[in-house]
A and B are shown apart, each in its own frame.
Chain A
Amino acid sequence: MLGVAWYLVSNTLANLEARRIASGFAFLWREAGFEIGEAPFQRYSAADTYLKALAVGLANTFKVSLAGIVLTTVLGAAIGLFLVSANRLLKAVSRAYVEFMRNVPLLVQLFFWYALITETLPPPPQALQPLPGVFLSNRGIFFPLPGSAPVLEGFNFSGGLAITPEFAALLVGLVTYTAAFIAEIVRAGVLSVSRGQREAAYALGLTRALAMRHVVLPQALRVIVPPLTSQYLNLTKNSSLAVAIGYPDLVSIANTIINQTGQAIEGIAIIMAVYLTISLSISAFMNWYNARLK
């Protein structure tokens, strides 16, 4: 085993030397020299360091993951409850949704949403205005903020809250895809609560909705939470598909840096370290939660 490891390391060192690729993390303090489309919570310019660029990528990963987790929980829970609803039409529609979403690769769905936004929405001068001040265009979606409304300047809007097509496509794709899996988890959780519990609640005079809220769901939550956290983890890992539609998340920034510096080992080590940290913290949380329930 050690022999194999030594063989690989010596090959790698020889190759790095032959290709004149530096090693170590010193490159992180060099100037990045590339612009990034969106940098939430901080200012970034091409003159900043690679480290700063990675921080922007990480912020973008967190931004889309957190927004995605909140929205997919709401959508997934709603569809999950529809799956056990008494209305047969509602049930059938939600079943069809879940089956379709789960059986099509997320990447195909992301490409679809991106194509839908960039190909079917009009350019900014002809932007759709579904609500006063809100603009839908193939360059993004623009919302008014207090004191700053989006205004058309040349070929694009400025001011207000801008959502890029990349972010919108990634968020919609992640939310609708993960919601299908969460819906199944919620359904299984609700069905795991024994019939007697629900009947007892009805006998007490609770309506269907009240029985669901006060009797069934609190008990179902024990079954729901552990697989739900692993769906959150999946969503975060899947946000790395951003690189395919050009949203500047951690993986896509690291990929650009690898292409510029050739320091593939360091770049991939950074990606893996970040994701391992996230997934280990989520599983630590899950263990804590399970221990608390017992």
Chain B
Amino acid sequence: MNRLLSAVLGVVIAFLAWKFIDWALLHAVWQPDSKACRAAQGACWGFIAEKHRFILFGTYPYEQHWRPALASILLLLLWALSAWRMFWRWWLVLLWLAGLSVIGILMWGGVLGLPYVENQRWGGLILTLLLSSFGIALAFPLSILLALGRRSDLPVIQALCVGFIELIRGVPLISILFMASVMLPLFLPAGVSIDKLLRAQIALILFAAAYLAEVVRGGLQALPKEQYEAADALGLTYWQKTGTVILPQALRIAVPPLVNTIIGFFKDTSLVVIIGLFDLLQTIKVSLQDPAWSGYGVEAYLFAALVYFAFCFAMSLYSRRLERR
């Protein structure tokens, strides 16, 4: 029975795999040649070859593409460093602040001989990385405050934190993004305006903070009661206790679920497409509107899926390794 199942399943998988390889590799066109693509039986990877600069960097000035490229590498380095247990110290915060400032200078320019590039022209993969990195970096401290507030003895603070967390978690992200893109401008005094990218970033930060707060709260709850009592017995104030005894331990417990939440958030940043920001997915979508290259949506979105998969799968392998310890 078991052997028969394996055999049938094996044949089906082999057939599907052969079909896919035939389409994706054997009969595929790899050169950026739209005529060859129209004639071909297989996939048109030439589309990606033709549009790769736009997909990666959006409308950032062509001769300046090394700047977002370098910024992406710096961001990935920051993340890689943060993954190491030996770097889980308070000065990691300073490192992030320094890193993000350097990336800001690189992207905006206007100093050190770099031409100024307004953030309407940022786009592509770097925008996806920036939205998620700034989102997590700013949401994380906020989420700690929210989680502490939710466990606070002060009823007003507790009610505010619970209300905020449950409101954000109860509605779809897209409604929060709509709120940021159409409602936020109404709240501001006349003459003041915040640009679209910043508004979306604020929405993403608030969204991430609510979800991260629940994970941090899990860590706080998992900490044995004796730790709180011992800290109280030493006569520490609330902030001394929280900063030196509770948080360092609770956050360590919470790292694997935190990584999972970060994966979810990284995927969710793709929703900014709906409010028209030029992230990775949007640059791919826009590339498809070129009449010479329309009709290759299947190839284009498979490519998008592979890029997202590479990042998310790496993070989930990491989180699983942490859990196994």
Contact = CB atoms under 8 A, between A and B. Distances in A.
A238 B172 contact: yes
Contacts of A199: none
Contacts of B188: 11, 15
Nearest to A112: B301
Interface in B285-315: 285, 295-298, 300-302, 304-305, 308-309, 312-313
A32 to B, nearest CB: 19
Contacts of B312: 102-104
A18 interface: yes
A60 B5 CA distance: 40
Contacts of B267: 103-106
B183 A268 contact: yes
A237 B186 contact: no
Interface stretch (A73-81, A83-91, A125-133, A148-156): A83-91
B308 A108 contact: yes
Interface string B265-277: 0011011011000
Contacts of B189: 11, 14
Decide if the interface of chain B is mainly helix, strand, loop or mixed.
helix
The range of chain B's interface size is 35 or more
Interface stretch (A185-193, A212-220, A269-277, A285-293): A269-277
A35 interface: no
B219 to A, nearest CB: 19
Contact of B167 (A14, A88, A241, A276): A276
Interface residues of A, number: 49
Interface string A1-35: 00000001001101110100000000000000000
B73 interface: no
B297 to A, nearest CB: 3
B178 interface: yes
Contacts of A89: 5-6, 9-10, 13
Contact of B182 (A115, A116, A251, A264): A264
A231 to B, nearest CB: 13
A111 B297 contact: yes
A93 B9 contact: yes
Given A12-B186, A112-B301, A107 B281 contact: yes
Most buried by B among A16, A93, A118, A268: A268
A49 interface: no
B271 A237 contact: no
7 contacts: A14-B189, A103-B308, A107-B270, A108-B304, A258-B182, A268-B182, A275-B171
Interface of A: 8, 11-12, 14-16, 18, 86-90, 93, 99-100, 102-109, 111-112, 114-116, 118-120, 237-238, 240-241, 243-244, 251, 255, 258, 264-265, 268, 271-272, 275-276, 279-280
